[in-house]
Amino acid sequence: MPVTRQQFVGGAAAAFASIGVAVPARAADFNFKYGHDLPIDHPINVRSVEAFGRILKRTGGRLKITSYPASVLGSDPSMLSQLRSGATEMLALPGAFLNSVVPLASIENLAYAFPNRDVVFRAMDGELGGVIRDAIRTAGIVVFDKIWENGFRDITTATKPIRNVADLQGLRIRVSPGKIRVDTFQSLGASPTPISLSELYTSLQTHVVDGQENPLLLILQQKFYEVQKYVSMSDHIWSGYWTLANQDIWGRLPKDLQAIVADEMATATLKARNDNVYLNKSVRDKLGRLGMVFNEVDKASFKAKLVAANYYQRWKAEFGERAWAALEKYANKLA
């Protein structure tokens, strides 16, 4: 059913409140922390918290999972370290941020790999996602079957629109920490600076960087319209968030509880994907009303610059033949 941003803002609070409803009055046998860097009203957080309420109820109060959004538990590298040590039991994390532990996880961020979101999900729910999940498990991290959608990323700037790749040359642009995102914008001729999401607004406000790239929903939720003027619809990278768990802690969870968590998180992930379809339609209109100016981008000039920089050959060697073959079953022609 279609949802609005206003319903999501209210739904976030309602979802948090629902955790304690209609469950036995007993202390939980297992208490899990679930960290991520997204705002409280982002679909990933809202649907996660709804799922945690259902998990608490279905397990009879045995398992309580509490969400810690907006980098409350620390930066993404810090949360990943906490997950691996067991200080945090669960985490929602972009594939690009797993790069330091699982280099293959960042393949989802290959620029202009996917023509549209339907192809993305055929790939990530299919063979390509299977290859990625195998690599994550090999690194000793539990990964759930379905990937959350953050979405296609677009460029915002303060002083000029980005109409083609020439407009990117030398631009001081914030990128999310992650090797592939830095390399993508270096290959495009920009001057990328990795900055965490929690520090980005201040960095834009103080002109540490002049632009940034994120999905439209985050541009709205983080109020970047207050410090940016232009939105250039580059759709250069698709990004998602994997649901992860500490392997040892997950292994101590009874199988029946594991099954409930896996089932509810899969349901929540699919609901959040559907939410994005409706939210993104309204978000662009709202950003326009808030003063942001939209323009289309000559994507062919971006792709040509990447090919000339040997970007795809470089990342093919990085990811390996098996993963690249799986990617090519779904991807655009990359070179």
Domain ranges, ordered by start, for the chain: 5-149+240-280, 152-237+287-328
pLDDT value for 26:
76
How far lies 136's CA from each of 245, 250, 295, in Å? 11, 15, 38
pLDDT attached to residue 133:
98
Q: Given strand 211-214, what is the order of strands in its sheet? A: 191-194, 172-175, 211-214, 154-157, 230-233, 293-296
For residue 319, the tally of other CB atoms under 10 A from its CB is: 22
Tokens matching residue 34: 């679930």
Scan for tokens 């460029």, then name that residue: 155
CATH 1.10.3720.10 fits 5-149+240-280, yes or no: no
Residues 37, 100: Cα–Cα separation, whole Å: 18
Token pair 């939209």 in the structure block, residue: 294
| Three-class SS of the chain | CCCCHHHHHHHHHHHHHHCCCCCCCCCCCEEEEEECCCCCCCHHHHHHHHHHHHHHHHCCCCEEEEEECCCCCCCHHHHHHHHHHCCCCEEEEEHHHHCCCCHHHHHHHCCCCCCCHHHHHHHHCCHHHHHHHHHHHHCCEEECCCCEEEEECEEEECCCCCCCHHHHCCCEEEECCCHHHHHHHHHCCCEEEECCHHHHHHHHHCCCCCEEEECHHHHHHCCHHHCCCEEEECCCCEEEEEEEEEHHHHHHCCHHHHHHHHHHHHHHHHHHHHHHHHHHHHHHHHHHHCCCEEEECCHHHHHHHHHHCCHHHHHHHHHCHHHHHHHHCCCCCCC
Per-residue pLDDT of the chain (335 residues; tens, 9 = 90+): 445 555 555 555 444 444 444 445 579 999 999 999 999 999 999 999 999 999 999 999 999 999 999 999 999 999 999 999 999 999 999 999 999 999 999 999 999 999 999 999 999 999 999 999 999 999 999 999 999 999 999 999 999 999 999 999 999 999 998 899 999 999 999 999 999 999 999 999 999 999 999 999 999 999 999 999 999 999 999 999 999 999 999 999 999 999 999 999 999 999 999 999 989 889 999 999 999 999 999 999 999 999 999 999 999 999 999 999 999 999 988 87
- CATH homologous superfamily for the domain 152-237+287-328: Bacterial extracellular solute-binding protein, family 7 (3.40.190.170)
Nearest CA among 156, 155, 193, 159 for reference residue 177: 193
Query: Residue 109 has which token pair?
Result: 């961020």
The pLDDT of residue 207: 97
Same fold, 5-149+240-280 and 152-237+287-328: yes
